[in-house]
């Protein structure tokens, strides 16, 4: 079921602009209504200005009208299970639910581990806090 997301994430990873870290990452998310958006990491010579693959995928979703993330796959060339960074977990929380599935993938083998957002970011800062 999530294998299609893995394939899209891996294709995105191959487009990464990661000349400084040499650590290409790809992500692909599925919205609750079935749309898929993918992204890669994009680095900048002023290092803190670069951004993550998950961020690109989420931006694509927002630019296409937004949505809610049902599941997201992440893959890196050099890690057998690439786990979203802390900032990206909060970004996924912004557009997901506690039960949103996060698939940690291996570039050769596909989905290795699936966790919920609640497992990866327990007791997250709730978006309702600002309403």
Contacts with ligand THU: how many residues (CB under 6 A)? Answer: 13
121 binds ligand THU (CB under 6 A): no
What is the dihedral sign for C-alpha 60, 56, 8, 34?
A: negative
φ, ψ dihedrals at 83, nearest 5°: -105, 135
Nearer to ligand THU among residue 34 and residue 79 (C-beta)? 79
Compute the least distance from the CB of residue 38 to ligand THU, in Å.
12
Compute the least distance from the CB of residue 104 to ligand THU, in Å.
10
Question: CA 75 to CA 84: how far, in whole Å?
Answer: 9
Binding to ligand THU by CB under 6 A, coded x per residue (else -) over 13-52, reads -----x--x-x-x---------------x-x------x-x
Q: Can 54 be counted among the known catalytic residues?
A: yes
Question: CA 130 to CA 108: how far, in whole Å?
Answer: 42
Cα 118 to Cα 42, 72, 91, distances in angstroms:
27, 14, 13
Question: CA 27 to CA 57: how far, in whole Å?
Answer: 6
Residues in touch with ligand THU (CB under 6 A): 18, 21, 23, 25, 41, 43, 50, 52-54, 84-85, 88
**What are the residue numbers of the active site?**
54
């Amino acid at each position: 079921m999530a294998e299609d997301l893995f394939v899209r994430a891996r294709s995105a990873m191959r487009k990464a602009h990661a000349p400084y870290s040499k650590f290409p990452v790809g992500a692909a998310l599925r919205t609750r209504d079935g749309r898929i958006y993918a992204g890669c990491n994009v680095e900048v010579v002023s290092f803190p200005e670069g951004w993550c693959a998950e961020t690109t995928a989420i931006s694509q979703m927002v630019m296409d009208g937004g949505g809610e993330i049902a599941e997201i796959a992440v893959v890196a060339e050099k890690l057998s299970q690439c786990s979203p960074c802390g900032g990206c977990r909060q970004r996924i929380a912004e557009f997901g639910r506690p039960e949103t599935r996060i698939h940690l993938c291996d570039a050769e083998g596909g989905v290795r581990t699936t966790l919920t957002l609640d497992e990866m970011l327990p007791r997250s800062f709730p978006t309702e806090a600002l309403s």
